[in-house]
Amino acid sequence: MKRHFRVWRGDASGGDLRDFDVEVNEGEVVLDIIHRLQATQAPDLACRWNCKAGKCGSCSMEINGKPRLGCMTRMSTFTDDETITVTPIRTFPVIRDLVTDVSFNYEKARETPAFAPPPGVAPGEYRMQQVDVERSQEFRKCIECFLCQNTCHVIRDHDENKPAFSGPRYFIRAAELDMHPLDDRSDRKEYAQASQGLGYCNITKCCTEVCPEHIKITDNAIIPMKERVVDRRYDPIVWLGRKIFRRDQLESADGAVPTVNPPMSSARLPEGPPVGPDGHMEIAELSAPTQGGLSPFGEDLSFPLPPEYVSYHHPERPSEA
Amino acid sequence: MTTTATKPGGGGRLRAAITARTLRTDRWWLAPLVTFIGLGAWVTYATVRVFMHQWFFVEEYLYLTPFYSPCLTDLCGPAAEFGTPLPSFLLIPEAAFTLPFLLLFRLTCYYYRKAYYRAFWLSPPACAVPDGHKTYSGETRFPLIFQNAHRYAFYAAVIISVINTWDAIHAQTTGLGLGNVILWINVLMLWAYTASCHSCRHIIGGRMKHFSRHPVRYRLWTFVSALNTRHMQLAWITLGTLALTDFYIMGLAAGWFTDLRIIG
Ligand code: SF4
Ligand code: SF4
Ligand code: FES
Ligand code: FES
């Protein structure tokens, strides 16, 4: 059966919705139809995908205006005569057709402080209880599809907030580490408030609504982080409790000496992939200097990385960090 | 000639030129509209009732509406349980010491924030529908930074729930009628709503790093978390029970109908 599709085609210099009538078979998903378009009417239609199982987070697009994974949106959820409009995710600069440049997210990832190893525990010696690490594990389900980042109106509708706002994906990262039983940093709440722009979020829950992994981003990460900030900055009773019961000393009585926090992020700056003399990337990997997908971090890395590229701080040798 | 892809991070930083403000085809406006009407109607009803200054107490069965509890002005008569420090004046609600805190509690509630930011402030009206405003600074500065005071309002709300419970117990001394049942359901729901608060969830256990060291608080946290997932439902249910309780008592006090008595 043929269905009517409208697909956005173009690049940074402009574009529009193009009409297609495509064959749709039972059990197919939107990504299948995009592939059929590539195979038949539009061989140069650009689209990112990888697993077709909702696990790689590549195929984020907007289907009938809703941010979704193309591979997880069944055609059977639409009525027979419905026109299906497919557009690239809006919040990030478009590269071509359905492919956008999501490097904003990689920059924010790099700015988010990494796990801080507990002092006196060698790697490999980490032990924790399931109940303690459970909350953090929910956030590990994230597949980095960036649908939440795309939907969040703070940057979707207000591009100027991008420098100040890390977005829900990195709020769950901050919460994951702040709730982690072994993470040694104690300033993640302050960091979330001051540098990640937690205060910009007005908990309208769109990130939760679109997350394909059903992570309760707002309820389990953002609101708890906001509450943790309140603990530190606004709650008089917690403050009194601290004074009276010496809670601070209690928490560190089990050997964890409060450490000087290492710097927030590595010194490594974002790098782009190699480009040709025209300032553009190669159109196909056949002619690129390296085969396979180009790394958004640059292709000229050699291992081991120079220390200033790494934001890991050795628990016993902090000076070498 | 084929155009090559733009280099990520450099080059063109423009978004896809999509003219439609939203391409959503479902009825995304329905939820904010229902919220708008629901909250608007409730606030109107509550305001009218609070400034009505009558029909708030049924002396025979000691039913006091939650909108007038604790009753603190000269008008209260036998409904006054905690003295009458306030003069009766058109603009002073009978429960002038508690209503502001209840208002603050609901206004700064994480669920209601979501509801009115979407339905009243259109920021955003629905997901992937553009914000109705040109600029946006969220809750980073005055006045919205005061949303962080929710914790204080929560403490106040716990005290007020105790007072409401006292009202229900007090009314119980006269026997048992439909009014008592309504009062108890209301109190129970108010407790459920208050306990399901995100601040409560945090205080009770969410703030800890090691659940394993505090098994009792962990159990409590698990319980509150289960309630917390229904916070939105409870927010609406309590609006319903509050209005219903108030209306029932108003009807009794005004003599529109009589209480259905089971005992006494
Ligand atoms: S809840 Fe906060 S982070 Fe999530 S989409 Fe809404 S404003 Fe953005
Ligand atoms: S939190 Fe959910 S929506 Fe956001 S990037 Fe991860 S999987 Fe995608
Ligand atoms: S192709 Fe991997 S998530 Fe859709
Ligand atoms: S009452 Fe709704 S979050 Fe506290």
Q: What is the pLDDT of residue B226?
A: 97
| Domain residue extents for chain A | 2-100, 103-254
Contact present, A277 and B4 (Cβ < 8 Å): no
- Note the ligand closest to the C-alpha atom of A145: 2
Q: Which stretch of A202-206, B10-14, B98-102 has the lowest confidence by average pLDDT?
A: B10-14
Residue with the smallest CA separation from ligand 2 atom 7 is A142
ipTM, two decimals: 0.92
Q: Are B184 and B257 in contact (CB under 8 A)?
A: no
CATH architecture of A103-254: Orthogonal Bundle (1.10)
Give per-residue pLDDT as tens, B215-247.
999 999 999 999 999 999 999 999 999 999 999
Q: Is residue A247 pLDDT above 60, yes or no?
A: no
Question: Which residues on chain B are in Cβ contact (under 8 Å) with A235?
Answer: 151-152
Give the number of whichever ligand sits closest to the CA of residue A148.
Answer: 2
Residue bearing the bigger pLDDT, B227 or A12: B227
What would the pLDDT profile of A250-292 be if each residue is shown by its tens digit? 444 333 434 444 444 544 555 566 677 777 766 666 666 666 6
Q: A2-100: which CATH topology?
A: Ubiquitin-like (UB roll) (3.10.20)
Q: Residue B210 contacts by C-beta under 8 Å, 6 or more apart in sequence?
A: A129, A132, A181
Q: How far is the CA of B109 from the centre of ligand 4 (A)?
A: 4
Closest-CA residue in chain A for B23?
Answer: A65
Chain A nearest-CA distance from B197, in A, is 11
3-state SS track over chain A: CEEEEEEEEEECCEEEEEEEEEECCCCCEHHHHHHHHHHCCCCCCCCCCCCCCCCCCCCEEEECCEEEEHHHCEHHHCCCCCCEEEECCCCCEEEECCEECCHHHHHHHHHCCCCCCCCCCCCCCCCCCHHHHHHHHHHHCCCCCCHHHHHCHHHHCCHHHHHHCCCHHHHHHHHHHHCCCCCCCCCHHHHHHHCCCHHHCCCCCHHHHHCCCCCCHHHHHHHHHHHHHHHHHCCHHHHHHHHHHCHHHHHHCCCCCCCCCCCCCCCCCCCCCCCCCCCCCCCCHHHCCCCCCCCCCCCCCCCCCCHHHCCCCCCCCHHHC
Output the residue whose Cα is nearest ligand 4's atom 4: B197
Backbone phi, then psi, for B105, in 5-degree steps? -60, -45
Q: Is the pLDDT of residue A91 over 90?
A: yes
The single residue listed with the structure tokens 């007038």 is B68
A205 lines ligand 1 (CB under 6 A): yes
Rounded Cα distance, B76 and B56, in Å = 9
Nearest CA-CA distance, residue A197 and chain B, Å: 8
Residue nearest to atom 2 of ligand 4 (CA): B109
Q: What is the pLDDT of residue A243?
A: 65
Indicate the pLDDT class of residue B162, thresholds 50, 70 and 90: very high
Q: What value does the CA radius of gyration of chain A take, rounded to a whole number of Å?
A: 23
Closest ligand 1 atom to A202 CA: 7
Average per-residue pLDDT in chain B? 92
